[in-house]
Amino acid sequence: MVYNFSEDLKTVRDILGMSQKELAAELGVQQITLSRSENEQTRPNEKLVEALYDFAFKKNIRINRLKEMLWQESLPKDHKLLFHGAKSEIVDSIDVKFGRVNNDFGQGFYTGESYAQAVSFVSGFDKSSVYIIDFNPVGLKAKKYAVNQEWMMTIAYYRGALDEYKDHPMIKDLIEKSRKCDYIIAPIADNRMFQIINSFIDGEITDEQCKHCLAATNLGNQYVFISEKSAQNIKLLERCYVSASERDYYKSIRENDAKMGDDKVKLARRKYRGQGKYIDEILH
């Protein structure tokens, strides 16, 4: 899926009230080059694509956030707008078996509920992009998780931290429930949150401490598609270009949020000390 460069070019000119000649001068290209791209007579090269989106972002034009709002307004009833941060282009159809087996819930196609959420997870990668998705949940079975013991132990299993307990009846039951569905709705657990889960698995903190520490670092929900049937209910609407300036912007936000989250975790560990059960008490 190619970027909607022509329409985005027109949007930038309209918002700023600039002519093709004026914008071409700002981007360092000839007007004829901009004209051909805007009229879709030629495909822009990577340098021009980066120049346009970088220029727009520095002018405080949040094209991708505007797209999020417009797509949300035009979404069919009962459908869900989702976002997938991609390190590379999605080629052909969506493959639910493509992802790593040690993701939060194993292999699957991972998406989030907002553009900002999705772009923050790929802001550290060059050439990353965000796909806007129309999801129709009709006829599909969902498994929903909350920030609780079931959620954190399921993630710990898939991320390889519970290998010594893989034959335990409780763990087998958790994994069976996580695959008896078409898609999963669950809180996101990034690597920082997994370190907290590891502290619980290693017996350093109780499940109650772990739960409140994880709640303090809430990153929103993710939708994980694990069945072929669910993939058929996903429609890619648009691919959003992420310029270097925008990546730096969201990278900075995530770093600041991480600092705040770390402080909340320290508070939660102290406040809930002695409450709940340790891992060996749960899996005795």
**pLDDT tens per residue, range 9-25:** 999 999 999 999 999 99
Token output for 164: 């010594």
The residues, any chain, with a CB within 8 Å of residue 273's CB and separated by 6 or more, are 209
Q: Strand, helix or coil at 135? A: strand
The predicted pLDDT at position 258 comes to: 65
Query: Which overall architecture, per CATH, does domain 1-61 show?
Result: Orthogonal Bundle (1.10)
The predicted pLDDT at position 115 comes to: 94
Task: Indicate if the pLDDT at residue 215 is higher than 80.
Answer: no
Identify any residues that bridge with 86 across adjacent strands, giving them in sequence order: 129
| Rounded Cα distance, 94 and 174, in Å | 26
| Rounded Cα distance, 31 and 24, in Å | 5
Nearest to 189 by CA among 181, 198, 201: 198
- Tell me the whole-structure pTM to 2 decimals: 0.90
The predicted pLDDT at position 174 comes to: 94
- Dump pLDDT digits (tens) for 85-109: 999 888 878 888 877 778 889 999 9
7 band by pLDDT with thresholds 50, 70 and 90: very high
Backbone angles phi, psi at 239, to 5 degrees: -110, 125
Residue ranges of domains in the chain = 1-61, 75-282
What count of residues does the chain have?
284
- Strand locations in the chain (E): 80-86, 109-112, 129-135, 142-144, 183-187, 221-225, 234-241
Token output for 197: 């889960």
Is the separation of the CB atoms in 178 and 144 below 8 Å? no
